Amino acid sequence: MYHYLRNRRNQRHFPLPFIENFLPTKHCNWPFSTFTVQTPNANPNLEAVPSNFHAHSPQRPNLLSTHNLTSTHPAAPSLDKSPPFDQNTLNDIISSNKIITSYIRSGDLSSALRVFRNMTVKTTVTWNAMLAGYSRKPGKLTEAQKLFDQIPEKDTVSYNIMLAGYVQNSDMETVWSFFNSMPSKDIASWNTMISGFAQKGAMAKARELFLAMPEKNSVTWSAMISGYVECGALELAEEFFEFAAVKSVVAWTAMISGYMKFGKIEKAERLFKEMPVKNLVTWNAIIAGYVENCRAEDGLKIFRIMLRYGIRPNHSSLSSVLLGCSELSALQLGKQVHQLVCKSSLRDDTTACTSLISMYCKCGVLDDAWKLFLETKSKDIVSWNAMISGYAQHGAGEKALHLFEEMRGEGIKPDWITFVAVLLACNHAGLVDIGVRYFDSMVKDYGVEPRPDHYTCMVDLLGRAGKLVEALDLIKKMPFKPHSAIFGTLLGACRIHKNLELAEFAAQNLLNLDPQSAAGYVQLANVYAATNKWDHVARVRRSMKDNKVVKTPGYSWIEIKNTVHEFRSGDRVHPELASIHEKLNELEKKMKLAGYVPDLESALHDVGEEQKEQLLLWHSEKLAIAFGLIVVPYGTPIRVFKNLRVCGDCHRAIKYISAIERREIIVRDTVRFHHFMGGCCSCGDYW
């Protein structure tokens, strides 16, 4: 393969006439969205086309270009095979073909068929248009076969449409048999076959066809590159990309997605900068890649640049951006995206609305999420899951379970994600018996097989309730090998209930599965510290150092006027630190007068009590809250987010602060949301 590619690279004699007529621009700024051709035979030469591309362009051979038409008009009947038509008949045919194509594009196959049947004269273009409608629609392959057999004068396009239908709706053996029976094959035929095998992960067969293919174009190379990226063979994708005669926007985008998928961010960035042409799919790939690689802030920056270029996002763009907003808790940007959705054709799009619901839930604005959920006209299972998960994360277990029952009443069948949300709701609300019943009903009543995520929820549910023996028994009964998260969850429960023996067992198993797990070391050290075994704490920390395991530093952040302010424990860099310390000292005096006693067990250092109190006072969440009290207007909730679990002392202190300052304080940690108001927390001190 390498020698073949090397030789082809040196020769570079692929016939690519479209290059002479296609001048690439730096950015393709088309109305609202751009799509990349999914069916190779639909557009064999151009890789990216605008959504409003004219239906009768000669470059759309799948519906309206055929050798039965004259070169003067894409819908004119052939002069050598069909009888001559007068101009009125010709205009009628052209008009009917346009109407059929329009109906098919809108998914109205019945109306297209009605027009088709009323036509007294049909060209091969007409037959091909109807064939495309049937062949692409799931469950209509038999009708497509019958229609194909009735076509009086089949052309290569007819065969290609049918071939694509087989690829989408049949097995590859049938596809292969039909391909071999075709009387003539063009580049689109070969591309359809290669793409079909690539989409099904059969890259060996795709490569075999690639090597046998007499003539290749950019679609051919793109199909191979995309196929290798999808099946995880990034090195082979790189090899094909390097030697591709022409690198289309699809090929560039596939490589960017591949690099992001495997965490090679710098390579993805380099390709993105070097790309001569970018379409919306390219921008979506780089934005989604940043978000998926825990660099949401960079993803949001790229999104803003994309908007400045005048490229309008689609639901895929917005889903990634809203996920980034959720991770950063960037509520203000999320609201701006919501306004963008409302002003666009996506305002009624279920996917876009669901992404907004999820964003509001994760940014702590549950009321807005619920309002949007009620306004969503068409709710799918993902929409219901997002709202049920939102209630679960906020500790509103009863509302989550009520919504689950309402979903069932609507006739929507729950999936495995639904049950993760349901079990999470039971967990945060302490509904142990109800959670066990739902877990037991998954297979029996709904046919949903429990996954590792469900077992993790159950171990957490039982462990938090102090049923550590039952949690351990459940782990032993799992039908698959326990993963690291299971033992991490058990270890967290042991920390809450100070069960040293079981904590050591859980930590050992966790570190056997994941030797670099900082959580395993830290949680075990916390258990030792809570029982004043400081020599054991020192031993764990030495082990971490010897194994080069780095603890994730705890930090909290708060968004003020589109600016995210980040704080670390004992922070020394924030410009308002003097005012923050002054506010905290003032609060500490008031809290102690109100009965607050610092929880020194939360200070996991072997130092004196006074120093422990100082360390606790400067925890990152307290610094962020103090800053919020200074700058956030009275009456506006203070929203703080932390990358680790909120400690016991901070939880206790924030309850006092909410009462003293008469403010609503919302804190999101890695476990759940805590809504503090009037000296109480929504978790009921169960978290």
Q: What pLDDT is recorded for position 677? A: 96
Cβ neighbourhood burial of 430 (10 Å; 0-12, 13-18, 19+): middle
Q: What pLDDT is recorded for position 53? A: 28
What is the 3-class SS of 122-184, one letter each residue? CCHHHHHHHHHHHHHCCCCHHHHHHHHHHCCCCCHHHHHHHHHHHHHHCCHHHHHHHHHHCCC
196 lies in the same domain as 170: no
pLDDT band (50, 70, 90) for residue 613: confident
CATH number at residue 198: 1.25.40
Q: What pLDDT is recorded for position 326? A: 87
Beta bridge partners of 558: 565
Cα 142 to Cα 115, 242, 370, 588, 591: the distances in Å are 21, 42, 44, 76, 76
Q: How many CB atoms lie within 10 A of CB 645?
A: 17
Residue 264: what are its φ and ψ, rounded to 5°?
A: -90, 70
564 lies in the same domain as 672: yes
In a domain, 583, yes or no: yes
In a domain, 448, yes or no: no
460 with 488: CB under 8 angstroms? no
Q: Domain end: 356, 378, 400, which one? A: 378
**Beta-carbon contacts of residue 684 (< 8 Å; ≥ 6 apart):** 395, 430
Beta bridge partners of 34: 50
pLDDT 10s digits, 249-297: 999 999 999 999 999 999 999 999 999 999 999 999 999 999 999 999 8
Q: What pLDDT is recorded for position 75? A: 36
Distance CA 38, CA 573 (A): 51
572 lies in the same domain as 669: yes
In a domain, 449, yes or no: no
In a domain, 351, yes or no: yes
The whole domain housing 328 covers: 278-378
Q: What pLDDT is recorded for position 640? A: 95
In a domain, 298, yes or no: yes
**Beta-carbon contacts of residue 20 (< 8 Å; ≥ 6 apart):** none
User: What percent of the chain is predicted at pLDDT more than 90?
Assistant: 61
Q: Domain end: 327, 362, 378, which one? A: 378
Distance CA 435, CA 462 (A): 9
Question: End-to-end distance of the chain based on CA atoms, in angstroms?
Answer: 58
- Per-chain mean pLDDT for the chain: 85
175 lies in the same domain as 210: no
Structure tokens of 27?
């950015």
Q: What pLDDT is recorded for position 357? A: 95
pLDDT band (50, 70, 90) for residue 464: very high
pLDDT band (50, 70, 90) for residue 385: very high
207 lies in the same domain as 161: no
Q: What pLDDT is recorded for position 393? A: 93
pLDDT band (50, 70, 90) for residue 84: low
In a domain, 340, yes or no: yes
pLDDT band (50, 70, 90) for residue 525: confident
pLDDT band (50, 70, 90) for residue 604: low
pLDDT 10s digits, 183-226: 999 999 999 999 999 998 899 999 999 999 989 999 999 999 99
pLDDT band (50, 70, 90) for residue 602: low
Q: Among 40-44, 176-180, 433-437, which is the least confidently predicted range?
A: 40-44
| pLDDT greater than 80 at residue 668 | yes
CA angle, 286 as apex, 284 and 289 as ends, to 5°? 105
Q: What is the mean pLDDT of residues 386-393?
A: 96
Distance CA 145, CA 131 (A): 9
Sign of the torsion formed by the C-alpha atoms of 491, 494, 498 and 501: negative
Q: How many CB atoms lie within 10 A of CB 233?
A: 15
Q: What pLDDT is recorded for position 290? A: 96
Cα 446 to its chain centre, rounded Å, is 26
Closest CA to 65 of 75, 79, 54: 75
pTM for the model stands at 0.72
| pLDDT greater than 90 at residue 137 | no
616 lies in the same domain as 664: yes
- For residue 61, what is the DSSP state? T
262 with 289: CB under 8 angstroms? no
Q: What pLDDT is recorded for position 605? A: 60
Q: Among 47-51, 351-355, 422-426, 431-435, which is the least confidently predicted range?
A: 47-51
373 with 406: CB under 8 angstroms? no
Distance CA 484, CA 488 (A): 6
94 lies in the same domain as 200: no
If one compares 196 and 572, the residue with the highest pLDDT of the two is 196
Q: Which residue has the tokens 């004269």?
A: 121
222 lies in the same domain as 140: no
Closest CA to 380 of 361, 352, 401, 405: 352
Count: domains in the chain: 4
158 with 131: CB under 8 angstroms? yes
577 lies in the same domain as 661: yes
Please tell me the number of Cα atoms within 13 Å of 596 on its side-chain side.
26
Q: What pLDDT is recorded for position 580? A: 96
Cβ neighbourhood burial of 82 (10 Å; 0-12, 13-18, 19+): middle
Sequence length of the chain is 687
Q: What is the mean pLDDT of residues 580-601?
A: 93
In a domain, 398, yes or no: no
345 lies in the same domain as 240: no
pLDDT band (50, 70, 90) for residue 246: confident
Q: Domain end: 120, 154, 184, which one? A: 184
Q: What pLDDT is recorded for position 534? A: 84
- For residue 348, what is the DSSP state? G
| pLDDT greater than 70 at residue 2 | no
654 lies in the same domain as 609: yes
Query: Cα-Cα-Cα-Cα dihedral of 201, 203, 206, 207, to 10°?
Result: 170
**Beta-carbon contacts of residue 268 (< 8 Å; ≥ 6 apart):** 255, 256, 259, 260, 286, 289
CA angle, 434 as apex, 428 and 435 as ends, to 5°? 55
248 lies in the same domain as 317: no
**Beta-carbon contacts of residue 606 (< 8 Å; ≥ 6 apart):** 534, 537
In a domain, 158, yes or no: yes
pLDDT 10s digits, 334-355: 999 999 888 888 888 898 899 9
